[in-house]
Amino acid sequence: MHRTPIMTCEALDRLAGARLFFKCENLQKAGAFKSRGACNAVFSLSEKQARRGVLTHSSGNHAAALARTARLRGIPAHIVMPQNSRRVKIDAVRSYGGSLTLCEPTLPSRESTARRVQEETGATFIHPYDDARVIAGQGTAAVELLEQVPDLDVLIAPVGGGGLLSGTLIAAKQMRPGIRVLAAEPKLADDAYRGWKTGRFVAVERSDTVADGLRTSLGKLTFPIIMDLVDEILLASEDAIVDATRQTLERAKTVVEPSAAVPLAALIENDVRLDGQRVGVILSGGNLDLSDLPW
């Protein structure tokens, strides 16, 4: 793993009304925080398990991270991806030597296709987020951020399946019991928000948010962790997500994918009243498709 740097940008601070400290997981290996969880999971397998390889279904960054980590350990990686995944993410899996199977862009299709591949290969399934080894790995981004910027008032992470958010919550609330941890979610995939408001698990109903890394529902492990520990879940509109993505490239000169811009979008769009507080923002990934920009 890279110990990724912290980036600051006065222009983005002005937009958000807070002092932002961006944890640059867009500069992580394979371009996203997903490398952390994949690495923790793959290297915790026994020799016997590892020999038959690993398997996952993912909208992209977990897939690339798993393929890369499997190659580091010298074992096969079988990847099931929705056929509407972004080209840049499909290419990344191929470039890391992953064995690719495309499926319909629905959770049932992803799961049934993955089951079939698992029966054929005997590979160990590494869930993109609902796996304790993965959650623990993702939490290391927050651990580093709190070491690099010790005096944060608030931390904010995007939420899709909830692996990053769960790991962030466990790490941050342990290291700094007084810290506020917020989550940011696209309005078009607001299952975590609705679950948090009602206390009951709800599934995502559509899969068309531009934040393609956040199209999934929470899992059996991540749902209770998030309900227990998160302080607030903020929503972001599609327009705000696209604008925050663009502002991050234009003002901070750093390349992020739309999912990574959801926290900034939510801070700008909601009346959070941070009044200049010090806010850690996990910039989750940088795998933006430069041939198909969202603006």
Which spans of this chain sit near a copy of itself (rule: CB under 8 A)? 5, 24, 26-27, 31, 88, 246, 249-250, 253-256, 286, 288, 290-291, 293, 295
Among residues 228, 217, 124, which one has the least CA distance to residue 163? 217
CB nearer a copy of itself, residue 138 or residue 248: 248
State the Cα–Cα distance between residues 290 and 58, nearest whole angstrom: 21
Tell which residue, 159, 145, 146, has the closest CA to residue 222. 159
Instruction: Return d(Cα 15, Cα 281) in angstroms, integer.
Output: 14
Contact 8, 38 (CB under 8 A): no
Rounded Cα–Cα distance for residues 278 and 235 (Å)? 20
Query: For residues 76 and 258, which CB has a smaller minimum distance to a copy of itself in the complex?
Result: 258
**C-alpha torsion angle, residues 1, 181, 225, 160 (rounded to 10):** -70
For residue 25, the minimal CB distance to a copy of itself (Å) is 10
What's the min distance (Å) between Cβ of 20 and a copy of itself?
15
| CB-nearer residue toward a copy of itself: 26 or 209 | 26
Task: Work out how close the CB of 7 gets to a copy of itself at its nearest, in angstroms, rounded to a whole number.
Answer: 9
Nearer to a copy of itself, 65 or 154 (CB): 65
Closest CA to 98 of 42, 27, 159: 42
**Between residues 23 and 133, which has the closer beta carbon with respect to a copy of itself?**
23
Min separation Cβ 88 and a copy of itself, Å: 8
CB of 94 to a copy of itself, least distance (A): 15
